[in-house]
Amino acid sequence: MENNRIKMTSFFKDIAFKISLVLLLLQYGLGFSQTAISVTSEVDTTSIKIGEQIRFKIQVEADSTAQIVFPEGQTFSPLEMVEVIMTDTVRKLDRITLQKIYALTQFDSGSYTLPRQQVVINGQNFFTDSVKIAVATIPVDTLSQKMYDIKPFLEVEKSNIDLWKNALWIFLSFAVIGMLVYWFLIRKKNLSEEEKVALLPPYDRALLELKRLENSKYIIQDEYKQYYSELTDIVRSYLEEDVHVSALESTTDQLIEKLELLKDAGELKLDDETIDQFKKVLQTADLVKFAKSKPETSVAEQDRKAIEQIVIKTKEALPEPDEEDLLLDEEYQEVLSRKKQKKKWTMAAAVSIGILFLTTIVSIGYYGWKPVKDTLLGHPTKILLEGDWLNSTYGYPPVNLETPSVLLRQDIKLTPEVKATVKEAQVFTFSDPDALFYIGVSSTTFSSQETEPDFQNSVEQVLKSFEAKGAKNITTKQEEFKTISGTLGLKIYGSGKFTLPQSNEEVNGKYAIIIFGGKGFQQQIIINWMEDDGYAENIVNRITNSIEVKTGA
């Protein structure tokens, strides 16, 4: 009986242990299922033609709180990522399933391996499987379809914006010149009263001025000195212009003597009484001006009337001009006309020069001497900097950058030694010899996709090419270079003595070599410019800040 009891107790203990073990396994399995992570991948096809795309899908199953980072950028080399087609998320309770699909392609035939892709989940790395992809060429039926030669380069019509700018500047220049010519040469000015009087014949002008003197307030205000000064100046000016006798510089006695000589010679038919009257008026004027004499008001008025009669009688006493005098007078008027015309042109030129000078001074004050000088004389790199820039992609693997002029493809012949390692090399350049400015872009693919680029050797070859062209004292520095998208490369830069191709003159210059690369390919940008050229420095900065590459062969 006791034995049976012991057996029953042992049986139940065994059953309880097994139940506990099952419960423990169930609990562990349930917890494991809640924390397990699954990463899988697949492609829709393993065989494509050149340029076709494959769909590469990565699927992750994990806890809904997991931090998941998918592959980004060109990590699929030697295949090239075209785009991320879609990202899909499915949640179920506390679990999450993420799917990301990439479109990949290749533009060269061959067999490629899509490398394992890294997925980071909660700081832990997981990897997809690698896949073999076959890229086949597109068959060409040369029997049913004609073959044509490669078409030559076509000249692209240049933008007309510069032409319109130049035309606008020329139009504005002619407009300003036309306005100046009109204002100073053609326009009929509204003459002042003084100018109108000055244009009258000497006789008419003398009588008009005597009439004004009659209506003046000199006598009322006892300003006899001013009155007689103007009175004698009027008659002296008339005699000088019409009688052609130097009256303004002559004393009273000298002037009377000259008139008497003209009378005796028969050139001036004045009677003695008129000359005596004129002499008296001049003597009275001398007393007023120099001896401060003050004649009676009636005497002053009579002297003005006497001078008026003297002017009239002198005009009548002048002999009629003969043909020779008329010719001389005509020549004299022509000379006067030419002088006036010359004066107008001189004034217009002076105004134009003044405007140009003032504009230059203001420009120098605002922009500085060097920018204004370079604008007027045409600095080569300033023209490049301020011209129309182009954003283009060159070679394969592609190099995209912004340049002041299009880079032209260069024909490169590879030597047999180079062909052993290089499959293809594409080179594009632009240079301005006058400014010692050069930019070159090259993209190289190696014969073997596993070949790593030798940056050091590439730099040495560039420096040797500098030396072969006469460069001396070349210094080198090195630093990491990063594009806008974060692609890392190597930058080697420095300075030295470079030779201008046109004149063989040695100048201080700078250079920069920027290199990118990976298995099977290399991309390189070379820039060379003159030191202390601020415009060139701005060009280089703009170019380097625009560089973008796709690191896939």
Q: Residue 371: what pLDDT?
A: 64
Maximum Cα–Cα distance for the chain, whole Å?
A: 194
Q: How confident is the model at residue 377 (pLDDT cuts 50, 70, 90)?
A: low
Cβ atoms of 544 and 512 closer than 8 Å: yes
Q: Give tens-digit pLDDT for 156-204.
A: 665 566 656 766 777 787 777 777 767 766 666 666 677 676 778 888 8
Q: Residue 416: what pLDDT?
A: 79
Q: Residue 151: what pLDDT?
A: 65
pLDDT: is 173 or 428 the higher one? 428
Pairing of strands 399-403, 390-394: antiparallel
Question: 394: exposed, middle or buried (C-beta count within 10 Å: 0-12, 13-18, 19+)?
Answer: buried
Q: Residue 526: what pLDDT?
A: 92
Partners of 401 in the β-ladder: 392
Q: Residue 28: what pLDDT?
A: 41
- Would the pLDDT of 223 be above 50? yes
Q: Residue 423: what pLDDT?
A: 84
Q: How confident is the model at residue 390 (pLDDT cuts 50, 70, 90)?
A: confident
Report cis status (omega within 30 of 0) of the bond before 397.
Answer: yes
Q: Which of 42-51, 175-184, 503-512 has the lowest mean pLDDT?
A: 175-184
Cβ atoms of 429 and 439 closer than 8 Å: yes
- Would the pLDDT of 417 be above 90? no
Q: Residue 34: what pLDDT?
A: 44
Amino acid at 66: A
Three-state DSSP at 411 gives coil
Question: 50: exposed, middle or buried (C-beta count within 10 Å: 0-12, 13-18, 19+)?
Answer: middle
Amino acid at 126: F
Please compute, for residue 379, the number of CA atoms within 13 A of its CA located in the half-sphere on the CB side.
15
Q: Residue 110: what pLDDT?
A: 84
Cβ atoms of 304 and 224 closer than 8 Å: no
Kind plus residue range of the DSSP H or E element containing 360: helix 323-367
Partners of 89 in the β-ladder: 98
* 387 closest CA partner among 535, 494, 531, 209: 535
pLDDT: is 414 or 22 the higher one? 414
pLDDT: is 524 or 197 the higher one? 524
Mean pLDDT for the stretch of residues 74-94: 82
Q: Give tens-digit pLDDT for 283-302.
A: 998 998 888 888 888 888 99
- Would the pLDDT of 43 be above 90? yes
Rounded CA gap, 366 and 182, in Å? 31
Q: Give tens-digit pLDDT for 529-553.
A: 888 788 888 889 999 898 988 765 4
**Taking the mean position of all CA atoms in its chain, how far away is CA 434?**
18
Domains and CATH numbers, the chain: 38-136 (2.60.40.10), 200-319 (1.20.120.330), 380-549 (3.40.1000.10)
Rounded CA gap, 497 and 186, in Å? 59
Q: Residue 7: what pLDDT?
A: 46
Across the chain, how many H-helices and E-strands are there?
A: 14, 20
Mean pLDDT, all residues of the chain: 79
Interacting residues of 300 by C-beta distance below 8 A, sequence separation 6+: 219, 224, 227, 228
- Would the pLDDT of 328 be above 70? no
Mean pLDDT for the stretch of residues 336-352: 74
Radius of gyration of the chain (CA): 52
The two three-digit tokens of residue 129, written as one number? 């499987």
Three-state DSSP at 479 gives strand
- Would the pLDDT of 491 be above 80? yes
Q: Residue 535: what pLDDT?
A: 84
Q: Residue 128: what pLDDT?
A: 92
Query: How many residues are given for the chain?
Result: 553
Partners of 48 in the β-ladder: 135
pLDDT: is 24 or 201 the higher one? 201
Rounded CA gap, 13 and 7, in Å? 10
Tell me the CA distances in angstroms from 173 to 176, 180, 345, 349, one per residue in order: 5, 11, 17, 14
Mean pLDDT for the stretch of residues 220-244: 88
Question: 156: exposed, middle or buried (C-beta count within 10 Å: 0-12, 13-18, 19+)?
Answer: exposed
pLDDT: is 526 or 198 the higher one? 526
Pairing of strands 118-121, 124-127: antiparallel
Rounded CA gap, 526 and 549, in Å? 15
Cβ atoms of 127 and 119 closer than 8 Å: yes
Q: Residue 11: what pLDDT?
A: 46
Q: Residue 161: what pLDDT?
A: 66
- Could you say which DSSP state residue 200 is in? S
Three-state DSSP at 7 gives helix
Mean pLDDT for the stretch of residues 80-99: 84
pLDDT: is 414 or 372 the higher one? 414
Rounded CA gap, 318 and 395, in Å? 98
Q: Give tens-digit pLDDT for 50-66.
A: 888 999 999 999 888 88
User: pLDDT > 70: what percent of the chain?
Assistant: 77
